[in-house]
Amino acid sequence: MHDRLPARRQKTSEAPGDEAAISRKTPTKSRRQPRTGRAGDDAIIVELGSRVKQLRTQAALTLEEFAAQSGVSRAMLSKVERGEKSPTLAIIVRIAKGLNVSMSTLMGAEPDPAQVAVIRRANRLAFKDPETGFERHNLSPSHLDNDLEFLLHRIPPGESSGELPPYKVATEKYLVVHEGQLTVQTGDANYVLDTGDSFYFDVREPYRFINAGRTPCAYYLVIRRRRA
């Protein structure tokens, strides 16, 4: 039996496109300011912004249209494209959704049709939320004919992914907790998972990954996008 607890959904009064409406909500900690200033981080932010603008241009979207499709404000998107703002996980997921690409593609993953692929730890595509420290590591190659992604997520104590939106295509997620305790919030229920527990859900509504404990949490995640 799953652990099923009453939902702890938090509502906001802001419009969906407003930056405040997709800001992080965590169980135990207050909002921290983004960690910026390092040359390496600045280069990554600029590269990401350039890629977002390139993909938007290829999709023939104006900033206004992009904002409407992603649910991210035009002002925020403009700052991201100019490399002036490091987006949080919640924002970058919405950006990927608005461009109709996977987050891995947005982060620079290249299609890899090879039958065998080795991804060294030092060469993983990784994203770290500048506010929460939430880490997303891509463990799988991007195959042209494969709708699967294999990921490693790490969440510091008392932090969360923030509310994440459902996908445009039917998507399933499978995960196993490697370390610590994880709460998956989806719909009107919270599921509390301990080390070694596994979990599956069909992503049909907003969801959230939460580490409400006092120790780090890490879990492996497989994403499957079902083809029409």
Per-residue pLDDT reduced to its tens digit, 11-70: 333 334 443 333 334 444 433 443 444 566 678 889 999 999 999 999 999 999 999 999
Residue 7 maps to a domain:
no
For residue 2, is pLDDT > 60? no
132 within some domain? yes
Structural domains in the chain (count): 1
**pTM exceeding 0.85:** no
Assigned domain for 82 exists: yes
Is there a domain that residue 5 lies in?
no
Note whether residue 108 is domain-resident: yes
- Domain extent, residue 201, equals 12-225
Of residues 178 and 8, more confidence is placed in 178
pLDDT at 218 over 60: yes
Q: What pLDDT does residue 145 have?
A: 65
pLDDT at 105: 86
What pLDDT shows up at residue 23?
Answer: 37
- Residue 17 is predicted with a pLDDT of 40
Would you say residue 111 has pLDDT above 90? no
pLDDT digits (tens, 9 = 90+) for 146-195: 788 999 999 999 999 999 999 888 999 999 999 999 999 998 899 999 99
Higher pLDDT: 24 or 218? It is 218
Residue 145 belongs to a domain: yes
CA distance to 12, 90, 102, 105, 213, per residue, from 142 (Å): 36, 22, 10, 8, 33
At 228 the pLDDT is 60
In a domain, 1, yes or no: no
Q: For the domain that residue 21 is a member of, what is the CATH number? A: 2.60.120.10
Q: Which of 130, 128, 116 is closest to 37 using CA atoms?
A: 130
The pLDDT of residue 20 is 35
Examine the pLDDT at 140 and tell me if it is beyond 80. Answer: yes
> Is residue 112 domain-resident?
yes
Give the angle subtended at the CA of 65 by the CAs of 64 and 67, to the nearest 5°: 65
Mean confidence (pLDDT) of the chain: 83
